[in-house]
Amino acid sequence: MVLPEVGIVMGSDSDLPVMAAAGEALERFGISHEMTVASAHRHPEKVLRYARKAFEAGLKVLIAGAGGAAHLPGVIASLTTLPVIGVPVDTPHLGGLDSLYSIVQMPRGVPVATVSINGAFNAALLAVQILALDRLELQDQLRRYRRELEAGVEAQDRRLRRCRGEDEGP
């Protein structure tokens, strides 16, 4: 059994449609991960146990998604020295801005890297970049991924030019 390297934590299972993208991105790079629900407000003891045991469990990066007051990433960051990446989850009332502000406005001394609202895929890519600092195979995979992105842009540009009846561009 492979121990997970990345922990994906969400405040409730209603966050799963957003946070599943983090798992998909990690799988693309062959990164083992786990997912759990642990609410900073409704079950703080579980959050406390999870964050305090994360390092000993072999986790290297934590991705925490939450909506509304969105304290989960900050609470986790206050309990561990592992890197924590916060994912603000969209909310029906304020469009996720409440979540974004709650996560990004951490006090000095307790950092949380924060991605865009519903940006779980990018959170996972950031986790991969952190893990790649001392793993050449992950650096190579990230370079290939970036080349795929470039190729996608070029393909879109060719389709656009064909639709407009223009010559191929630079």
- Tell me the per-residue pLDDT of 85-111, one tens digit each, with 9 for 90 and over: 999 999 998 999 999 999 999 999 999
- Look up residue 40 and give its DSSP letter: T
- Distance from C-alpha of 89 to C-alpha of 109, rounded to nearest angstrom: 24
Structure tokens at 103: 């996560």
Q: Within this chain, do residues 43 and 89 fall inside the same structural domain, yes or no?
A: yes
> Range of 144's domain?
136-165
Q: Within this chain, do residues 100 and 126 fall inside the same structural domain, yes or no?
A: yes
- Those residues of the chain that have pLDDT short of 70 are 168-170
Q: Within this chain, do residues 102 and 32 fall inside the same structural domain, yes or no?
A: yes
Q: Within this chain, do residues 130 and 143 fall inside the same structural domain, yes or no?
A: no
State residue 167's pLDDT score: 75
State residue 170's pLDDT score: 65
Structure tokens at 90: 């969209």
Number of domains in the chain: 2
- Distance from C-alpha of 51 to C-alpha of 153, rounded to nearest angstrom: 40
State residue 50's pLDDT score: 98
Q: Within this chain, do residues 90 and 149 fall inside the same structural domain, yes or no?
A: no
Q: Within this chain, do residues 124 and 158 fall inside the same structural domain, yes or no?
A: no
Q: Within this chain, do residues 25 and 65 fall inside the same structural domain, yes or no?
A: yes
- Of 4, 5, 65, give the one whose Cα is nearest residue 38: 65
Name the average pLDDT for the chain: 96
Q: Within this chain, do residues 97 and 64 fall inside the same structural domain, yes or no?
A: yes
